[in-house]
A and B are shown apart, each in its own frame.
Chain A
Amino acid sequence: MVIFVAKRLALMALTMLVVSLLLFLLLELTPGSVATKVLGPYATDEQKQLWLAANGYLEPLWSRYIGWLGRFVSGDFGQSIRFKAPVADVLWPRLWNTAVLGFWTFAIMIPLSLALGVLAGMREGAGLDRVISVTSIVTTSVPEFASAVLLSAILVFWLGLLPGTSPMTSGFDWRQLVLPVLVLVLYDFGYVTRMTRASMAEVMTMPYIRTAELKGLPRRRVVVRHALRNALIAPFTVITLQINWLLSGVIVVEYFFAYKGFGALLLEASLNQDIFLIEACAMIAVFVAAATQTAADIGYTVLNPRIRFA
């Protein structure tokens, strides 16, 4: 098990190294374009040359990469052009905001979709199953920008219960968090629910469930002890992949509600060609993707003894 985890972590480090190299080559292969982005389109060639020399861009590619990587690992992401501040100062608070948003989305969505999926899958084809399945298909097929508009229209403009934007300018306000979380949950819970339902429905047809029932176990115990653990193996992977989605997939929601999160930052950085900010955001995204994948792999083996001992 220790060997397995070590191997997974090594693989994750390797993945990130490869991606960082690709990213570096993509954005910084030609120093001239970096200088143009940093100094703006109206800078003279002389200014650019001076900037390049001052920032070590005249050195060979590999030594620049090593230096870049070293600074990156130590947390020095460079200077943001747009915000006129160190990238780290801009990035961390934004990431924290998105983490708060993601946490609440998960805290509501996961129990909800697992419960609904299990309820639906327990008796495939029953009335409850049909209601849950149709609901989850409908909510998943409505895109976030549509549901955001709709929910705002009802909850903000018609009922006047909640604020329409969530900039959190005067400190944390949970009322501003409700709408973004609601939109995200609404969009994503159907997907997880359907995955759970399919997995649960399959497990319920397994011979070992019949064994458990014919042992005389109460239905509750059959579901909780015998079915759930096996049924959760497949959705577990799906759930960990949702973390990844929350990081960059929330751009629409954050932008719509003017929420100062990571997605909105990524969008802003791209629109303004804020090269060092883009690099930092991309590396964070890659890190989260690789980390969730690793967590998914490790968690999968913990849940599934057949893999653990194979």
Chain B
Amino acid sequence: MTGPSDLAPLLEIDRLSVSYSSRGGAIPAVVDLSLRIATGESVGLVGESGCGKSTVAMAILRALGRNGAIVGGSVRFRGRNLADLDGAGLRALRGGEIAMVYQEPMAALNPSLTVATQLAEVPMIHARVGKAEARRRAAAMLGQVGIGEPDRVLAAYPHQLSGGQQQRVVIAMALLGDPSLLLLDEPTTALDVTVEAGIVKLIADIGRRFGTAQLYISHNLGLILETCARVCVMYAGQIVEEGPAEALFRRPRHPYTQGLIACIPLPTNDKNARPLAPIPGQLPPPRHRPRGCVFAPRCVHARPGLCDVGPIAMERADASARQVRCVRWRDIAAADVAAEAPPARPPVPIGDEVLRVSALQKYYPIGEAGIGALISGEGIRTVKANEALEFSARHRETVAIVGESGCGKSTFAKILLGLETATGGAVYFAGDEISRIPVGSRTPAQVGALQMVFQNPDETLNPSHSIGAQIARVVRRFDKERRGFGIRGRVLELLDTVKLPREFYRRRPRQLSGGQKQRVGIARAFAGNPKMVVADEPISALDVSVAAAVTELLMDIQREHGTTLLFISHDLGVVRYLADRVVVMYLGQIMERGTTAQIFAPPYHPYTEALLAAVPMADPAVSKREIVLEGPLPSALDPPAGCPFVTRCPRKIGRICEVEPPPQRKPVRGHVIACHIPLDELAAIEPVFSAAPDAAAE
């Protein structure tokens, strides 16, 4: 494969194949992968879980573990074949020339060493400087990565830092060896959206300031588009398409890339105008990949006798150095891709009010340990997890609660379901006040009418019971009329509803993929014919294409059953796509609520505005304003006295924000913004999203 750049190649991967050995034989993780990165270039590697993208990074650093090995091809760095390096050469390479940033910063840092020790090691090893000098460099680097108080952070242990700070420390650690290539493996996946936006900006800055080349590995196409000039799309261990980022997103050539892009809910779309088109089928396991094109079994364009014969090579697709691994790309390009998008759907009529939340409060007392507290008698402080929540949800409606971790959205879900009881206020559900009835005291009808789909399907299914038994248990509990075979029939019906094969009745959770497990979770929630389903981040643990399928499924069932859906999420793209109304929460309080259209257009609450700007956009036709929030989320133990958002608000108007709770401004009926800024000023702001200036040229 030839690179598009005239610059000298820094990294040159040539026909690399990596396999892991296991009891059942070799598992090919990466097959025939060629990739070139020039000095200072940023290249994105996109793919869903299991496609081998992290293995590529590990192969570059020769850190495949004892059961992994490079079985073909070569990796060259500055012309040297990395396979020839001895122990000392490898150590000089790792950290000194190629450094890595990891997905989970908390796990990547040693819990029992201070930040100073962990950072100073790098210059001590690679630049052979003394301890004091190493520490000085560490402090300077922390300043460079946007940490305000380097000395405090240096003395801290990793668990004393916030997630964003931890990731900045990891980035500083990577940069301290002055590497010429940075491998970033999902560096923001574990972070909140507004924190993510800050890290993404930092990574882009680093590329500019230090001239470091980057290999950015992610499943998030929007992030890749924002950070990289060139993109490689991986599927089942192979690169299936490569090209300049913008061109690739505008005109994907490979059917898989097209499918991936059609799976992403954009903050500029909604469920009725442009429904998502999930990719059918699922990723083949590494040892059962088809002959010929690996994507053929899921591809609508696949032709027997053409796509399933021999290995398919990368082919140059157009002048802009685009390469595609597809034998039919010319035929596919001729047909209009947009025409194949699913047809628009008529909106569902909204019914009567099902849920009304009124002045809801939930406080947690926190016992204070310490002599001071014991003496003064102020032993108890409170965490205000929910404060004065006020909204309603109607029949057949989808209401989204949006906010970052710690905003109290999950606490609210717990109160609804009776896992916690409220401290004040009321929740009326189908006419009953339920905020203080724990789930054990609710009637089976009440419990059955209000069900939940959980975030992590792996943790919510019992590994030792069959799928059928787990759904049957719920049916037996909530469907009093059924006995014996009736229950089995109902379980099979539910499996049909969530589009799982009936054979799954006897299977165990470990035999299912993540998406299938989540379908079981949905089947379980709908077993009692609920009036309302609370879905707490139901797709955030799933891959892009799987998430799209689960989202569509959830909405289909909702349409059929006329269920009210309370969708809790941090992903504004998904929220924009499927919600009718949105509630934006911050530190336990509602900052803004209104219809989806009202939330996504000015006037915005400044927090909503920042949230919108933080969403990575996988659409080059849309440009957005840049707003990066400074600082971490304040502790819920010690929230600001006035507006909760005051400490990070870029549009703070003065002392009033600090001391006085914001008034509720109502631009139109149903739209509420809690902010001190006058309405006309809020409304005068330019929208976050707009058509990209060069979009017209395409």
Looking across the interface, which residue of chain B has its beta carbon closest to that of A305?
B157
At the interface, is chain A mostly helix, strand, loop or mixed?
A: helix
B414 CB–A CB distance under 8 Å: no
Number of A-B contacts (CB under 8 A): 83
Known: A207-B102, A218-B91. 19 other contacts (CB 8 A): A3-B369, A3-B371, A206-B107, A208-B110, A210-B63, A211-B173, A212-B110, A214-B63, A215-B121, A216-B92, A216-B125, A216-B177, A218-B125, A225-B117, A226-B113, A230-B111, A303-B112, A305-B159, A306-B111
With A217-B125, A309-B160 already in contact, the answer to whether A226 and B370 are too (CB < 8 A) is no
Kindly list chain A residues whose C-beta atoms are within 8 Å of the C-beta of B117: 225
Kindly list chain B residues whose C-beta atoms are within 8 Å of the C-beta of A214: 61, 63, 94-95, 99-100
Contact between A207 and B107, CB atoms less than 8 A apart = yes
Scan residues 294-310 of chain A and give those whose CB is less than 8 A from a CB of chain B: 303-306, 309
Assign chain B's interface to a size class: 20 to 34
In the bound assembly, the distance between CA atoms of A208 and B118 in angstroms comes to 10
In the bound assembly, the distance between CA atoms of A207 and B100 in angstroms comes to 12
Scan residues 210-252 of chain A and give those whose CB is less than 8 A from a CB of chain B: 210-218, 221, 225-226, 229-230, 233
B488 CB–A CB distance under 8 Å: no
Kindly list chain A residues whose C-beta atoms are within 8 Å of the C-beta of B99: 214-215
In the bound assembly, the distance between CA atoms of A208 and B110 in angstroms comes to 5
Kindly list chain A residues whose C-beta atoms are within 8 Å of the C-beta of B125: 215-218, 221
B277 CB–A CB distance under 8 Å: no
Which of B61, B121, B126, B159 has the most chain A CB atoms closer than 10 A to its own CB? B121
Scan residues 606-626 of chain B and give those whose CB is less than 8 A from a CB of chain A: none
B104 CB–A CB distance under 8 Å: yes
Contact between A207 and B91, CB atoms less than 8 A apart = no
Residues of chain A whose beta carbon lies under 8 Å from any beta carbon of chain B: 3, 206-208, 210-218, 221, 225-226, 229-230, 233, 303-306, 309
B96 CB–A CB distance under 8 Å: yes
Contact between A217 and B112, CB atoms less than 8 A apart = no
CB < 8 Å neighbour of A225 from B113, B170, B177, B371: B113
CB < 8 Å neighbour of A208 from B63, B95, B108, B157: B108
Scan residues 364-384 of chain B and give those whose CB is less than 8 A from a CB of chain A: 369-371
Kindly list chain A residues whose C-beta atoms are within 8 Å of the C-beta of B170: 211
Contact between B109 and A208, CB atoms less than 8 A apart = yes
In the bound assembly, the distance between CA atoms of A229 and B118 in angstroms comes to 14
Contact between A217 and B113, CB atoms less than 8 A apart = no
Contact between B110 and A230, CB atoms less than 8 A apart = yes
Looking across the interface, which residue of chain A has its beta carbon closest to that of B174?
A215
Contact between A306 and B107, CB atoms less than 8 A apart = no
B247 CB–A CB distance under 8 Å: no
Kindly list chain A residues whose C-beta atoms are within 8 Å of the C-beta of B92: 216
Kindly list chain B residues whose C-beta atoms are within 8 Å of the C-beta of A3: 369-371
Scan residues 410-432 of chain B and give those whose CB is less than 8 A from a CB of chain A: none
In the bound assembly, the distance between CA atoms of A206 and B370 in angstroms comes to 34
Selected A-B contacts with CB under 8 Å, 20 pairs: A206-B107, A208-B108, A208-B111, A211-B102, A211-B108, A215-B94, A215-B95, A215-B122, A216-B96, A218-B125, A221-B125, A225-B117, A225-B121, A226-B113, A230-B110, A303-B112, A304-B112, A305-B112, A306-B159, A309-B157
B555 CB–A CB distance under 8 Å: no
In the bound assembly, the distance between CA atoms of A303 and B104 in angstroms comes to 23
Which of A210, A213, A216, A225 has the most chain B CB atoms closer than 10 A to its own CB? A216
CB proximity of B163 to chain A, nearest CB, Å: 15
CB < 8 Å neighbour of A230 from B93, B112, B121: B112
With A208-B109, A211-B108 already in contact, the answer to whether A216 and B126 are too (CB < 8 A) is yes
